[in-house]
Amino acid sequence: MKKIILILSIATITGLQSCAPGYSVQQPIYAEGARPATPGATHVWVDGDWRWNYRQHKYAYRNGYWARPYRGRTFHSGSWKHGPRGYRWIKGTWR
């Protein structure tokens, strides 16, 4: 009985994972937006970002913005990374 429960559990988990949203696209998506004037000399531009839209099952673009940098850190822009299912967006981070 324990083996049957284990096999059914594994089959269910595997099935759910295959139905999960892909988080990938066949071609990378690019968008450019206008960069507004800087609000001050201490601000840095944070590039726009792509976010996965769970309802529409596609990436949606979020515009870039000006931000004050964290002390001792710089912003590294996100990028598209190719994988076995297509391209995935790797989010930009402060390092």
d(CA 50, CA 81): 13
The confidence score (pLDDT) of residue 22 equals 57
- Across the 95 residues of the chain, what is the mean pLDDT of every consecutive 10-residue run? 43 37 77 88 93 91 93 93 92 94
Where in the chain are the domains?
2-94
